[in-house]
Amino acid sequence: MTANTTPGLQVMDHPLVAHKLTILRRKDTPSHVFRHTLHELSWLLAHPTFAALKTVEDNIETPLEMMTAATMRAPFPCLVSILRAGNGLIDGFSQVCPEASVGHLGLYRDHDTMTPVSYYTSLPSDIEKRQVILGDPMLATGGSAIRAVEKLREMGVTDMVFSCLVAAPEGVAALQSAHPDVPIITAALDRELNDKCYILPGLGDAGDRIYGTD
């Protein structure tokens, strides 16, 4: 379901993922269809994203006999959305893992400098004890993801993955260089950035397409 192209990077390889991504990439896909499809895609992306989730063995009783079975380890993970487009992914992740807490990091790219500006942080106080899944549909220059990982590290987080829909090679290289121990999981690895730091072929501005703004 995923191919390991380079160490620390998993790119999904699945026909249903490819089909749904194509819907997102089409420029005439309306916002409500974009949102709905992103939601479905996030359930599929959850599969590799949660693959390293820690579990413990519990003794349970089925209707027929006792058995030892895996159950999610407490404290439960924290899903962290890079606002605002990250919500499109994290909402779906939180449906498949409702026990997880949800944190928010408000970051936007300054349109002139293309560097991330932080405007909001809300995270559980014991986040350093949790596995963190950091989600944002787009990894372009990598500036937003790098800043988000730095913030989480400042709070003591050691165990995290970054999950996205579309990554640019430039963003993957930048994130891996800044934080080589953070695995990256993506539904697609695209060609390059354009001169405005948008991903080509990409899907445009994810936040605008989710929320119908521009």
Q: Indicate the residue type of 53.
A: L
Binding map of ligand URA across residues 70-109, x = CB under 6 A, - = no contact? ---------------x------------------------
3-class secondary structure, 99: coil
Of 209, 163, 197, 214, whose CA–CA distance to 36 is shortest? 209
Q: Which is nearer to ligand URA, 128 or 205 (CB)?
A: 205
- Which of 39, 205, 210, 214 is in the footprint of ligand URA by CB under 6 A? 205
Q: Which is nearer to ligand URA, 9 or 206 (CB)?
A: 206
| Cβ atoms of residues 150 and 8 within 8 Å | no
| Cβ atoms of residues 47 and 68 within 8 Å | no
- Give yes or no for a cis peptide into 75 (omega within 30° of 0): yes
- Which of 138, 157, 189, 203 is in the footprint of ligand PRP by CB under 6 A? 138
175 binds ligand URA (CB under 6 A): no
| Cβ atoms of residues 121 and 151 within 8 Å | yes
Q: Interacting stretch for ligand PRP, rule CB under 6 A, among 11-19, 23-31, 32-40, 108-116?
A: 108-116
Q: Which is nearer to ligand URA, 91 or 205 (CB)?
A: 205
Of residues 68, 113, 195, 214, which has the active-site annotation? 113
143 binds ligand PRP (CB under 6 A): yes
136 binds ligand PRP (CB under 6 A): yes
Which run of H or E residues covers position 2? strand 2-6
178 binds ligand PRP (CB under 6 A): no
Q: Interacting stretch for ligand PRP, rule CB under 6 A, among 6-14, 33-41, 97-105, 205-213?
A: 205-213
Of 169, 114, 101, 103, whose CA–CA distance to 139 is shortest? 169
Q: Which is nearer to ligand URA, 21 or 85 (CB)?
A: 85
Q: What angle do CA 160, 122, 73 make, to 5 degrees?
A: 40
45 binds ligand PRP (CB under 6 A): no
Q: Which is nearer to ligand URA, 97 or 197 (CB)?
A: 197
3-class secondary structure, 127: helix
Q: Indicate the residue type of 190.
A: D
So which residues are the catalytic ones? 109, 113, 205, 208
